[in-house]
Amino acid sequence: MKFPIRATLVSLLPLLAACNAMTAPGAYYRPESPDADQAVVYIYRKVVQKPEITGYPEIFVNGERKFRLLLGGYGVVKLPPGQYEILARGSFWTDWPHPDLTRRIEVKAGEEYYVRVWRERPPPGGSPAMMSLVSKYVGVGEIYRARLVTALD
């Protein structure tokens, strides 16, 4: 009787490891002070109790790949003043089934910006994922339990 239970538990280990690999492993949210000549942009996915999607998009800023936005994670990008396009793109390999999400933002030196990538139940014919620029108040309230994702190699 112990063998089937043990075999079942052993067979589940790779699945559990794969699920854990889709969540952000870094340190919890810590605000960064913007430099006088740059803006700080936080791009994040909220921590959710029952995730419906465990895959992740990769984040690009003006076409340059920055990081993988894992579930419950956030990344930080410091940018000089100007206009930027933020792109969240998934693929077969990242298990992110949504179409590309883009958001254009204009940043000012010394300011902080919060960009939320999230999923909701779509309206009929609508996209199930969104990217929103939110206020600092909303962003800090949602990001405080998120973990830092590191830049790509």
Does some domain include residue 118? yes
Does some domain include residue 58? yes
Q: Which domain holds residue 92?
A: 2-148
How many structural domains comprise the chain? 1
Q: What count of other Cβ atoms lies within 10 Å of the Cβ of residue 35?
A: 12
Task: Please report, for the domain that includes residue 23, its CATH number.
Answer: 2.60.40.2890
Does some domain include residue 126? yes
* Residue numbers in the chain where pLDDT is lower than 70: 1-25, 49-54, 119-128, 151-153
> How does pLDDT run across 4-39, given as a tens digit for each residue?
555 544 444 444 334 444 455 578 888 888 889 999
Does some domain include residue 95? yes
Per-residue pLDDT at 4: 56
Does some domain include residue 117? yes
Does some domain include residue 43? yes
Distance from C-alpha of 84 to C-alpha of 30, rounded to nearest angstrom: 23
Element (H, E) at 4: helix 2-21
| 3-class DSSP state of 48 | coil
Per-residue pLDDT at 62: 98
Per-residue pLDDT at 99: 83
Does some domain include residue 153? no
Does some domain include residue 34? yes
Distance from C-alpha of 65 to C-alpha of 145, rounded to nearest angstrom: 24
CA dihedral 119, 123, 127, 129 (to 10 degrees): -10
Per-residue pLDDT at 153: 40
